[in-house]
Amino acid sequence: MTTLLLILPVRWAPIWQAPLRDAAPAHGLSNLNLIVHGKDAYAPGDIDYALGFRPDAGLLGSLPKLKAIFSLGAGVDGFLSDPAFPKHVPLVRFVNPALSLEMAQYCVLHTLIHHRRFRTTLAAQAEHKWTQAMPEKGTAKTGVGILGFGEIGIMAGERLRDLGFAVAGWSRTKKDVPGIESFAGEAALGPFLARSDILICLLPLTPETRGVLNRRLFAQLPKGAYLINAARGAHQVEADVIAALNEGQLSGASLDVFETEPLPKDNPLWAHPKIIVTPHNAGLSDPIAAAQSVAAGIAAAERGQPLQNVVDMARGY
Ligand code: NDP
Ligand code: OXD
């Protein structure tokens, strides 16, 4: 018998149990035992695999026979922030074209909201005013910069390129994506920012990227640029975002992620006239697709085959 521990809010467990039960036999896992942490009794030594998103610190390190851990999200900062995380156990992140596409849609939607000045149109409608708000610059002259040009960043960039924007991506290593300018490494960050009228953050949260969306970075953008953060709340220094908006260095921001989630009711970001707040729903992992990935991963591990999408512990993503 192979035992998988589900580390999720207990009320979510049924959403994941049924797809996992459905997926297991097709991957040759006739005997997959599902245990829900916080609901079912178990001995730590019984657990072969675990899945979750933001497990309690110390929990995974207390499971002595773990063979692999599966993240239900693309981002794994919720695992690696645990000082007792068992780094010798492979951590598999969720990489899925449907999730990347949802994220790309979010980026396209919010780029167009800002570029087409859609909030001005809505405000005019509220006053029954016929105001034809138009882009400040032509689309081909509007630079969209994507911080974090990986699985999701590339998909978002390709969609935005196809809409006619001048897209560039920034990553650690250079990329070769037709029609998109690639900038790599710290030295290239300044020139990348200088041409980004709309800046989209799709970086993983690591010690290097924490707090990257700060006053110093905003000052390197063209005056009046827009910010879209769909990565992690800890990438942005909230006070700096508000200051940059109030000073006009930023014209607007779409924020999907926050230092504290759910965003507390009294947080000033909610009511700021230049900010669109969305509740960390830019892209949601589909349980059926995730169950297929997890079952395939467990089956591969049981056969002694290599796992896909394993996090590099040294890089932290
Ligand atoms: P990837 O690992 O595929 O891409 C990460 C990119 O960031 C890579 O291009 C990488 O460079 C680059 N990068 C990492 N560190 C640095 C650094 N220090 N300097 C420069 N570039 C760096 O991740 P995904 O695209 O799959 O996901 C990105 C993030 O999106 C996730 O980590 C998660 O936080 C967030 N997310 C948010 C969701 C939401 O609903 N809001 C949903 C899903 C994901 P290189 O390619 O050279 O390695
Ligand atoms: C993810 C997320 O990382 O939903 O997948 O935030």
Q: What DSSP designation does 89 have?
A: S
Q: What is the pLDDT of residue 107?
A: 99
**DSSP structure class, residue 310:** B
Sign of the C-alpha dihedral computed for residues 114, 118, 121 and 123 taken in this order: negative
Separation of alpha carbons 34 and 243, rounded Å: 48
For residue 38, the model assigns a pLDDT of 97
Atom of ligand 2 nearest to the CA of 75: 3
Compute the distance between CA of residue 79 and CA of residue 60 in angstroms, rounded to an integer. 9
115 and 164, same domain (yes or no): yes
Q: Which two tokens stand for residue 117?
A: 């000045």
Closest ligand 1 atom to 95 CA: 26
Residues lining ligand 2, Cβ inside 6 A: 73-75, 283, 285
Q: What average pLDDT does the chain have?
A: 97
Are residues 72 and 144 part of one domain?
Answer: no
Both tokens of residue 107? 């980026």
Based on the residue annotation, tell me whether 115 is a catalytic residue of this protein: no
Do 298 and 173 belong to one domain? no
235 tagged catalytic:
no
Q: Residue 182: inside a domain, yes or no?
A: yes
- Which atom of ligand 2 approaches the CA of 257 most closely? 6
Mutation pick for ligand 2 pocket among 12, 257, 285, 293 (CB with most ligand atoms within 8 Å): 285
96, 290 contact by CB (below 8 A): yes
Nearest atom in ligand 1 to the alpha carbon of residue 284 is 40
Closest ligand, as measured to the CA of 148: 1
Exposure on the CB side of residue 85, measured as CA atoms within 13 A: 21
Confidence of residue 289 (pLDDT cuts 50, 70, 90): very high
Catalytic residue among 21, 116, 195, 280: 280
- Position 145 scores a pLDDT of 99
pLDDT, mean of residues 270-288: 97
Whether residues 108 and 89 fall in one domain: no
Q: Are residues 218 and 291 in the same domain?
A: no
What is the percent of the chain where pLDDT is above 70? Answer: 100
Same domain, 92 and 103: no
CA of 16 to the centre of ligand 1 (A): 25
Q: Are residues 115 and 250 in the same domain?
A: yes
Domain encompassing residue 26: 2-96+285-302
Ligand lying nearest the CA atom of residue 96? 1
CATH of the domain at 249: 3.40.50.720
Between the alpha carbon of residue 194 and those of residues 40, 191, 218, 253, 288, the distances in Å are 54, 5, 10, 17, 42
The reply to whether ligand 1 has any atom less than 6 angstroms from the CB of 102 is no
With vertex at residue 257, the alpha carbon angle to CA 256 and CA 258, rounded to the nearest 5 degrees, is 135
> What integer pLDDT is reported at residue 16 of this predicted model?
95
Q: 164-223 pLDDT, tens per residue?
A: 999 999 999 999 999 999 999 999 999 999 999 999 999 999 999 999 999 999 999 999
Same domain, yes or no: 249 and 113: yes
Annotated catalytic residue within 37, 110, 114, 232:
232
Nearest to 244 by CA among 213, 267, 279, 276: 213
* Closest residue by CA, ligand 1 atom 37: 231
From 203, 205, 217, 315, give the residue whose CB has the most ligand 1 atoms within 8 Å, as the site to mutate: 203
Instruction: Check if the beta carbon of residue 61 is closer than 8 Å to that of residue 88.
Output: no
Do 60 and 114 lie in one domain? The reply is no
Kindly give the residue spans of alpha helices, DSSP state H, lying in the chain: 13-26, 77-80, 97-115, 118-126, 151-162, 189-194, 215-219, 238-247, 287-302
Q: Structurally, how many domains does the chain consist of?
A: 2
- pLDDT (0 to 100) of residue 62: 98
Question: Residues 69-120: pLDDT tens digits?
Answer: 999 999 999 999 999 999 999 999 999 999 999 999 999 999 999 999 999 9
Domain match, 120 and 58 both: no
Local confidence band at 257 (pLDDT 50, 70, 90 cut-offs): very high
Ligand nearest, relative to CA of residue 256: 1
Asked if residue 314 belongs to a domain, the reply is no
CA pair distance 183, 167, nearest whole angstrom: 11
Q: Which two tokens stand for residue 158?
A: 């390709």
